[in-house]
Chain A
Amino acid sequence: MKRTFAIPLVLMSVMGWQVRAIAHGVEINYQATEAIALQANYDSGEPMAEAQVSVYSPEDPSTPWLTGTADASGRFVFAPDPSIPGNWEVQVRQAGHGEILNIPVGGEEGVLATSADGSREPGASATDGESDSQIVSSTGDNLSLPQKGLMAVSVIWGFVGTALFFLARKK
């Protein structure tokens, strides 16, 4: 008789010890982890304030792993699960404008993006030092204003040249 009580009592005490947080006290743990910070801007330079963000893990590219909203300055931070290495897909969208960004996390893909110094071990996080943080940008943003200006002028000159060519031929 004594024994049959003892086992549940031992179990209860052990369990109870673990689920102490059922009481009103709150316990919050933290750990430093690899996080990805996004900055979404329109190509005019304005931030995409309150834009919707969907994160897709490499395992399931069809259902979002995480959805959220960028803040007023177009920033969005999330921590991908390091146990799922591969290309994480992030979609930012607002009013039919948006972009898809592939972010390599861990594994072999992670090395590709950070292999500038050969000393890094595969899958090491990209946030363990200021100098290591990498900035990946989607298309269109990595051109400086003079570059864009020159491109625009070249294209326009192409059109004007075409016009002049056919004008000259007419005469």
Chain B
Amino acid sequence: MHIPDGILPASVCIAGYAIAAPFAWYSLRQINRLKDPTEELPKASLLTAAFFIASSINIPVPPSSVHLVLNGLLGSILGYFAFPAILVGLFFQAIMFGHGGLTTLGVDAVMMGVPALVAHHIFQLRHVFRQKLGEKLATSIFAFLAGALGLGLSAVIFFFLVITNIPSGFDAQTEQAAVYGLTLAHLPLMLIEGTFTLLLVAFLQRVKPELIERRG
């Protein structure tokens, strides 16, 4: 899922940074508006660690394999903390393991961070449906949707970025087929991440419900 150095042309990499910057700024501003911004930091820090290590966990989806991303999970539980958390996590992944790259850090941050913010808003929708569905069911449904759609949106962005940037030296058809294959392999991963988000939210709701309550 991470786009490494040298895959995208320089203009796209710069555009990635240009798009990531306002999202980072907006997220930090939202965080700064909280009563106590440091209150959420332990949670954000731990989930950054989870995000950092998640990409090392490979799940075989024949014929290839995909790895966990957990951006939807971060979005639902951290809210606006998710974007800086993902940025930090991606930075460490690129430096430590060469997973992703520094030139593509902006692109990767947009690809995973923006869907995380979308996931946050999807998860907030549970308050709207609370009356109709009941507290528990609404939380479960929207936790699953946030986890699954956060990842799904990332896969779609990845798909468009890669499919529109195949350099002339490569056989476009073969590469397209490979990209289709990899994107389809993310469908089962959507289910896995959705379920994982649902389980974690259900667990937190039982043991420490204030962790997933609305902030601000």
Contacts and interface: CB of A to CB of B under 8 A. Distances in A.
Interface in A128-148: 139-140, 148
A34 to B, nearest CB: 23
Nearest to B67: A44
Interface string A77-115: 000000000000001011111111000000000000000
Nearest to A157: B49
A24 interface: no
Where chain A touches its partner, the secondary structure class is: mixed
Given A96-B3, A96-B162, A166-B41, A43 B98 contact: yes
A54 interface: yes
B96 A152 contact: yes
B6 A91 contact: yes
A163 interface: yes
Contact of A148 (B6, B97, B169): B97
B66 to A, nearest CB: 10
B6 A64 contact: no
B133 interface: no
A18 to B, nearest CB: 36
B167 A54 contact: yes
A166 B38 contact: yes
B161 interface: yes
A162 B4 contact: no
Interface string B1-45: 001111100000000000000000000000000000011011101
Interface string B175-198: 100110110000000000000000
B158 interface: yes
A65 to B, nearest CB: 9
A100 B7 CA distance: 9
Contacts of A44: 58, 65, 67
Size band of the B side of the interface? 35 or more
B137 interface: no
B171 interface: yes
A52 B7 contact: no
B7 A140 contact: no
Given A93-B7, A155-B92, A169-B38, A140 B99 contact: yes
A95 B56 contact: no
Contacts of B171: 52, 67
Contacts of B3: 96
B45 A43 contact: no
Given A93-B7, A96-B162, A140-B99, A159 B170 contact: no
A159 B98 contact: no
A151 to B, nearest CB: 5
Contacts of B7: 93, 96-98
Q: Closest 6 interchain pairs by CB?
A: A140-B98, A96-B162, A159-B49, A64-B169, A95-B178, A163-B42
8 contacts: A95-B175, A140-B97, A151-B96, A156-B53, A159-B52, A160-B49, A163-B43, A170-B42
Given A46-B65, A52-B174, A93-B170, 14 more contacts: A52-B175, A54-B167, A54-B169, A63-B169, A93-B7, A93-B175, A96-B179, A98-B6, A100-B6, A152-B56, A155-B49, A156-B49, A159-B45, A170-B42
Interface of B: 3-7, 38-39, 41-43, 45-46, 48-49, 52-53, 56, 58, 64-65, 67, 92, 96-99, 158, 161-162, 167-171, 174-175, 178-179, 181-182
